[in-house]
Amino acid sequence: MRVAVVGVGRWGANHVRALAELRAEGLVSEILAIDKDGERLKWAERVYGARPLRGIECAQDLDVDAAIIATPTSLHFAHAALFLSRGIPTLVEKPFTATLDDTYRLLDIAGKTLVTTGYLLRFHQGVRYSRDALAGVGGALAALARRTSSGRERSVDAGVIKDLAIHDADLVTYITGARAECVRAQAIAPGGQREEHAQILADYGSLIAAFEASWLVLYTDRRLEIVGGSGTLTVDFVRERVCLHARGESRELAVGAADPLLAQDREFLMAAAGRGGEVVSREDIVYTMRFCEAATLSARAKKAVCLDEL
């Protein structure tokens, strides 16, 4: 398959690396790197043998089998539309678009063409284990999630809710099958701009969940805990470990041998080729975008917001 990566900055470069590994597997025949930065393109060509294309204008009539959009969030809609409008299967990095309205518009443009987003933590071995082990801790009654990153990693055009909390909003639903009904959030937005620290309490009807996401905490902490009726599962994404605490049992398992991004991109390309492949559904894209917009609105309005209000 000939695959285009639009945007080969910090995260797009990881996709180029993953595609190079998939080329070694025989799934990818050519990697086309699109960026406005000539130095990035030289790097992609030198290190991974990607074909460099300067500027998004090169994508207008590009003949490829699939595309990955890894540009800043504000550009996701326009860049993905260039491929989806021509029926090219496309993976758009998270957050899918800048707004919920743009999400609906882009899905309309896609029509029946495969379109998905980048929730790579679904492919983390600790998440897979927790999903399979959920019944063993008596199902899910509550979830606790914390995701912090140094301010040096701040996204330039999305707040911390859509940049970080969106991952855990997706994971709670992916593991438990439940979807939030209402959320109440508080956030800190220095200078009145994008929120840089947020705490979200979500009511799922069948369970409750608390999320914390921050760029202000100057160390990295990424963990998810599922509290069941007879035990607890904790995924520590930094230390690559899963802890299982059940009645009469306590285990710690080392995970993380598999690369989640590589697994995600492999599954996307398999789906694009019509060979199966597990991808994030349109329904889950819309749900997580609604969750984040409800949380953002709640923090600004200082009141609970139900997702069906959006």
Which letter does DSSP use for residue 165 in this model? I
Residue ranges in the chain whose pLDDT is less than 70? 151-156, 256-257
Cα three-residue angle 181-185-188, rounded to 5 degrees: 160
Q: Which tokens sit at 40?
A: 């990035």
C-alpha 96, offset from chain centre: 8
pLDDT value for 227 = 97
pLDDT value for 258 = 82
Which letter does DSSP use for residue 104 in this model? H
Helix (H) or strand (E) holding 283: helix 282-301
Adjacency order of strands within the sheet including 197-203: 249-254, 241-246, 231-236, 221-227, 142-148, 208-214, 197-203, 182-188, 305-306
From residue 305, alpha-carbon distances to 88, 141, 142, 178 in Å are 36, 21, 19, 18
pLDDT value for 149 = 86
pLDDT value for 257 = 67
pTM of the model: 0.95
Q: Is the peptide bond before 260 cis (omega within 30 degrees of 0)?
A: no
Distance CA 270, CA 171 (A): 22
All structural domains of the chain, each given as residue ranges with its CATH number in brackets, are 2-117 (3.40.50.720), 121-262+289-309 (3.30.360.10)
Give me the phi and psi of 114, to 5 degrees please.
Answer: -60, 125
